[in-house]
């Protein structure tokens, strides 16, 4: 390396460090209080006791992902038995049982329209299935291939666009029609594990194995903000229902809430008795409750404003791998390595 | 080749600085305002949150209502 280049590298390193210090200081300057203090006058939510209302039986192996349809009735689940199952959660009937080319599935998603579902995993691809095909058969509509690592998560923006996160450290916005990448979101320094789309569909957030969460502007293709603080991989991420905050779940056994407008962490959900990783999370409709799935087979329910545990869902015989609250807030669905899905309320 | 590596590292470092500049320039609000807005959203929507309020069995689609009607 030339002396000139070395000098420039040193300059850039110094500038990067300066900017990081600037960001830390700017965030600190906004800390006129804490969320704990602001919520001091509010009482903790009373004990939340949800019961299993339905058990969805049918998968023959570990369930890795589930996603509610926007109708709050149907949901899709993905299992390493090589099947995607669309369930009617009220009757427990299987509406569709879709055999997959690759059984190493890690994620699934339901399109807002209800017309399509998607899945992907160790095949590095995102496969799109049309549920409303003319002859009634569910077929692969598109195979989105370009990631050089596993597909960890996917979420539809519409029937024509989907966002994926990958073990190759990038997220991608795809044009489903043409099967091409519209935008590549690069910046994470570790496997991207999870993503969530903002309620207004303008942004998405990603959680990665570099211990950070990033907020991305979908149309600009840029990373707006980066949130650190976790001490291990972020496995789960979700938006607070008003779209102004982000909740993450990590292998460090904690969940954190970051406010987007204050650009910083406001509170951590952790307990010394919890020593295992968070696998999944979902807020309730008002955002007051945070339901988080853990490696110890339980779901803990947190009061998001008071950071106190207010309930536990114990019912699975193995790790809770996925969780989702329906759009109308009426039910929570958990999926587990024990091969069952449970509906709670 | 060491020259290519060097220029790659330079480009990566330049991109990192550019990204940090972007993130440093974000407009921030006070934590008090952020906390109040979160608090208010929770409180205002509390009664509409079924998992928080509990659901009477007659309104719970996942629970068939108990009835003793004879047809």
Q: Strand, helix or coil at B63?
A: coil
Asked if B50 and A329 come within 8 Å (Cβ–Cβ), the reply is yes
For B21, the closest chain A residue by CA position comes to A19
- Number of other residues whose CB lies within 10 A of the CB of residue A278: 29
Q: How far does the CA of residue A66 sit from the closest CA of chain B (Å)?
A: 18
B12 touches chain A (CB under 8 A): no
Structure confidence at residue B19 as a pLDDT band (50, 70, 90) = very high
Rounded-to-integer distance, Cα B49 and Cα A331, Å: 10
In chain A, residues with a C-beta closer than 8 Å to the C-beta of B52 are 45, 48, 284-286, 288-289
**d(C-alpha B19, C-alpha B35), whole Å:** 27
| Percent of all residues in chain A with a pLDDT value above 70, rounded to a whole number | 100
CB contact under 8 A, A286 and B45: yes
User: What is the model's pLDDT at position B6?
Assistant: 82
How far is the first Cα of chain B from the last one, in angstroms, to the nearest whole number?
86
Q: Which residues contact A294 (CB under 8 A, 6 or more apart)?
A: A253, A274, A276, A277, A278, A279, A300, A319, A320
Counting one residue from chain A and one from chain B, the pairs whose CB atoms sit within 8 A come to 177
Q: How far apart are CA B8 and CA A203, in angstroms?
A: 30
In three state form, how does the secondary structure of chain A look?
Answer: CCHHHHHHHHHHHHHHHHHHHHHHHHHHCCCCCCHHHHCCCCCCCCCCCCCEEEEECCCCCCEEEEEECCCCCEEEEEECCCEEEEEECCCCCEEEEEECCCCCEEEEEECCCCCEEEEEECCCEEEEEECCCCCCCCEEEEEEECCCCCEEEEEECCCCEEEEEECCCEEEEEECCCCEEEEEEECCCCCEEEEEECCCCCEEEEEECCCCEEEEECCCCEEEEEECCCCCCEEEEEECCCCCEEEEEECCCCEEEEECCCCEEEEEECCCCCCCCEEEEEECCCCCEEEEEECCCEEEEEECCCCEEEEEEECCCCCEEEEEECCCCCCEEEEECCCCEEEEC
What pLDDT, on a 0 to 100 scale, did the predictor assign at position B69? 57
All residues at 6 or more sequence positions from A91 whose CB lies less than 8 Å from its CB, including other chains: none
**Rounded to whole angstroms, what are the CA distances from A324 to A314, A328, B15?**
16, 12, 37
Confidence of residue A242 (pLDDT cuts 50, 70, 90): very high
Q: What residues contact A289, with CB distance under 8 A and at least 6 apart?
A: A45, A48, A283, A301, A302, A303, A304, A310, B49, B51, B52
Query: pLDDT tens, A55-97?
Result: 999 999 999 999 999 999 999 999 999 999 999 999 999 999 9
CB–CB of B38 and A224 under 8 A?
no
Q: Report residue A5's pLDDT band, with 50, 70 and 90 as the boundaries.
A: confident
State whether A16 and B17 contact (CB < 8 Å): yes
Residues A204/A197, Cβ–Cβ less than 8 Å: yes
CB contact under 8 A, B14 and A12: yes
The number of beta carbons lying within 10 Å of the beta carbon of residue A301 is 26
Asked if A262 and A307 count as a contact pair (C-beta separation under 8 A), the reply is no
Q: Tell me the per-residue pLDDT of A143-171, one tens digit each, with 9 for 90 and over.
A: 999 999 999 999 999 999 999 999 999 99
CA dihedral for A175, A181, A182, A184, sign (positive or negative): positive
Coil, strand or helix at B64 = coil
pLDDT confidence of A220, banded at 50, 70, 90?
Answer: very high
Within 10 Å of residue A37's Cβ, how many Cβ atoms? Answer: 12
pLDDT averaged over every residue in chain A: 97
Please report which confidence band the pLDDT of residue B44 belongs to, taking 50, 70 and 90 as the band edges. very high
Task: Measure the CA–CA gap between A218 and A175, rounded to whole angstroms.
Answer: 13
Q: Is B53 helix (H, G, I), strand (E, B) or coil?
A: helix
Encode pLDDT of A158-211 as tens digits: 999 999 999 999 999 999 999 999 999 999 999 999 999 999 999 999 999 999
Q: Min CA distance, A218 vs chain B (Å)?
A: 16
**First-last CA distance in chain A:** 63
* Cβ atoms B15, A186 nearer than 8 A: no
Mutate to test the interface with B, among A47, A185, A286 (most CBs of B within 10 A): A286
Give residue-wise pLDDT tens across range A322-343.
Answer: 999 999 999 999 999 999 999 9
What pLDDT sits at residue A192? 98
Task: State the pLDDT at residue A170.
Answer: 98
Residue A229 forms contact with B (CB below 8 Å)? no
Q: Phi and psi at residue B43, in whole multiples of 5°?
A: -65, -40
Closest alpha carbon within chain B to A216: B23
Interface contact flag, B41 A27, Cβ < 8 Å: no
User: In terms of C-beta density within 10 A (0-12 exposed, 13-18 middle, 19 or more buried), how is residue B5 classed?
Assistant: exposed
Provide CB contacts within 8 A for A282, sequence distance 6+: A238, A290, A291, A323, A324, A325, A332
User: B8 CB near a chain A CB, below 8 Å?
Assistant: no
Cβ–Cβ under 8 Å, residues A181 and A166: no
């Amino acid at each position: 390396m030339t002396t000139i280049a070395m000098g420039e590298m040193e300059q850039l390193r110094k500038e990067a460090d300066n900017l990081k210090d600037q960001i830390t200081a700017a965030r600190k300057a906004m800390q006129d209080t804490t969320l704990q203090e602001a919520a001091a006058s509010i009482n903790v939510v009373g004990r939340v006791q949800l019961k299993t209302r339905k058990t969805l039986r049918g998968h023959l192996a570990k369930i890795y992902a589930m996603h509610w349809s926007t109708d709050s009735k149907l949901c899709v689940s993905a299992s390493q038995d090589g099947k995607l199952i669309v369930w009617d959660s009220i009757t427990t009937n299987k509406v569709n049982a879709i055999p997959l080319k690759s059984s190493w599935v890690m994620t699934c998603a339901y399109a807002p329209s209800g017309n399509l579902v998607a899945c992907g995993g160790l095949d590095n691809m995102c496969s799109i299935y049309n549920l409303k095909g003319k002859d009634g058969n569910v077929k692969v509509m598109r195979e989105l291939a370009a990631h050089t690592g596993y597909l960890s998560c996917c979420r539809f923006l519409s029937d024509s666009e989907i966002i994926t996160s990958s073990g190759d450290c990038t997220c991608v916005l795809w044009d489903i029609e043409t099967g091409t990448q519209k935008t590549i979101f690069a910046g994470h320094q570790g496997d991207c594990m999870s993503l969530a789309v903002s309620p207004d569909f303008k942004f998405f957030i990603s959680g990665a194995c570099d211990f950070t969460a990033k907020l991305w502007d979908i149309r600009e293709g840029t990373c707006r903000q980066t949130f650190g603080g976790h001490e291990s991989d972020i496995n789960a991420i979700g938006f607070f229902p008003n779209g102004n905050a982000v909740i993450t779940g990590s292998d460090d056994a904690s969940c954190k809430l970051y406010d987007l407008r204050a650009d910083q962490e406001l509170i951590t959900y952790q307990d010394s008795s919890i020593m295992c990783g968070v696998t999944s999370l979902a807020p309730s409709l008002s955002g007051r409750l945070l339901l988080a799935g853990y490696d110890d087979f339980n779901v803990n329910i947190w009061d998001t404003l008071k950071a106190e545990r207010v309930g536990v869902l114990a019912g699975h015989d193995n790790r809770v791998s996925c969780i989702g609250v329906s759009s109308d807030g009426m039910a929570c669905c958990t999926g587990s390595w024990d091969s069952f899905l449970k509906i709670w309320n | 080749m060491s020259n290519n590596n060097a220029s790659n590292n330079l480009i990566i470092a330049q991109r990192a600085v550019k990204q940090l500049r972007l993130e440093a320039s974000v407009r921030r609000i006070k934590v008090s305002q952020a906390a109040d807005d979160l608090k208010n959203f929770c409180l205002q929507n509390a009664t509409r949150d079924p998992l928080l309020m509990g659901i009477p069995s007659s309104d719970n689609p996942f629970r068939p209502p108990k009835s003793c009607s004879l047809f």
